Amino acid sequence: MIIGVLDLQGAVHEHISIIESCNDIAVRVKENKDLENLDGLIIPGGESTVLSRLLKIKGLNSGIVKKYRQGLKIWGTCAGLIILAKKIEGESMETLGLLDIEVKRNGYGRQLDSFTKDVEFNNNVSTVRFIRAPRIIKTGVEITPLLKIDNEIVAARTKNTMFTTFHPEVTGDTSFYNYFKESIIKTQVL
């Protein structure tokens, strides 16, 4: 498969390592032309305010939305999720607005409150890292939860997207990547 990773800022390299370790082809997406011929796109974690600004400067915001409307499958991790959300609590940052969710940035506190957690997902135990992670505070009807911690959604999907408030790629976990490939890109459900 050919998987793009938005390469403007953030945990780009880690996602590329996972993609290549699974024998797929990784494409660094820096311009709209890099969005051609992708099976899926990953929007990595980083700093959503910076991502938002760079997406706009490069015209990639409208480029990604256009491809999404044509069927591109997208996975947002952490800041990538924030960039996909329709609403950010208390802020007016420009996002792609593709997900009917409201999120609270830095929902668990500051950098020092980042933490690692073992979670059970898809019959597997994955170690994932929450790094100044957002909290999902409202979800619309088309959102299907995939994983909850203390009754809060931390991973979910729609027909053509997946989103995780945490980073699975920084610990080398491949189970969320495999789910994105097998159940979002290859399988049309819902």
Residue 23 C-beta: closest distance to ligand GLN, Å: 27
Q: Single out the catalytic residue among 20, 22, 142, 169.
A: 169
User: Could you tell me where the beta strands, DSSP code E, fall in the chain?
Assistant: 2-6, 25-29, 40-43, 73-77, 85-88, 99-104, 115-120, 125-130, 135-139, 144-149, 152-157, 161-164
Angle, helices 60-69 vs 48-57, to 10°: value is: 90
First-to-last C-alpha distance (Å) of the chain: 22
Q: Verify binding: residue 131, ligand GLN, rule CB under 6 A.
A: yes
**Which of 18, 29, 43, 45 is close enough to bind ligand GLN by CB under 6 A?**
45
- Cβ proximity to ligand GLN: between 40 and 46 the closer is 46
- Cβ proximity to ligand GLN: between 2 and 172 the closer is 172
**Which of 36, 69, 97, 106 is close enough to bind ligand GLN by CB under 6 A?**
106
CB-based burial, 100-109: b 16+ in 10 Å, e otherwise: ebbbbbebee
Q: Verify binding: residue 164, ligand GLN, rule CB under 6 A.
A: no
According to DSSP, the residues that pair with 73 across neighbouring strands are 40
Q: Verify binding: residue 79, ligand GLN, rule CB under 6 A.
A: yes
- Cβ proximity to ligand GLN: between 2 and 7 the closer is 7
Scanning 13-21, 78-86, 117-125, 153-161 for contacts with ligand GLN by CB under 6 A, the matching segment is 78-86
The residues of the shown chain that bind ligand GLN, judged by CB under 6 A, are: 45-48, 78-79, 82, 105-106, 131-132
